[in-house]
Amino acid sequence: MVAGDMTDTPAIRRKPKVWEIARALLQVSRARYGDLELAFFDLRPSGERSRSEVRRLLTDALQRLSAAKGGFGELIADHLRMVAVMSAPRGRVLFNLRVYICPFDGAERSSGHYLASRLIWAATTLRLSRDRIAHGLPLDKARIDAATKEAQLRFLQQFEGWEEWARALDLTPPFEV
């Protein structure tokens, strides 16, 4: 190392994490309600992008999660780092980055209640999958699917008209494992 060379300082020597790189490259926005905060970015084509619309619906979803009993706000805060709004099939998460891939179409684009339920799905999927991976266990899709449906149903049952939402989300018990 040359005298005065800064390349050996801990801050520079450390390799940046993928999360840090992605965050620097993408324009990240945040939705907040009370103590809950969720980062998001919108990767849809420029004519379809609307950060204000995504923020409004995510804030509505966070408000519903905060109002519900059962630790749903904590579930989201602890296990879901970001929502990536992009054209993609529904039902995807990025395990290492703890990101929910959200097509933001249909009911996700018009209902904070539906979006809150999808956030519960994503956070529960991430929590259970990462737990199994950490313990060297294979992913058990059937058990994870059943657990995510049960979590969504517990959330929905706290609100009036939950039966309609449960049918729309195909959350009719018993859930097969």
Beta bridge partners of 94: 99
Peptide bond into 174 cis (omega under 30): yes
Condensed to tens digits (0 to 9), the pLDDT of residues 117-134 reads: 999 999 999 999 999 999
Report which residue type is found at 87: S
- Provide the residue ranges of all domains of the chain, joining segments of one domain with +: 17-168
Render pLDDT for 4-35 as a digit per residue (tens, 0 to 9).
Answer: 333 333 444 455 566 665 654 567 899 999 99
Residue pair 140/132 in contact (Cβ under 8 Å)? The answer is: yes
| 151 to 30, 40, 83, 108, 141: CA distances (angstroms) | 25, 23, 19, 18, 15
Q: What does pTM read for this prediction?
A: 0.81
Q: How far apart (Å, rounded) are the C-alpha atoms in residues 39 and 31?
A: 6
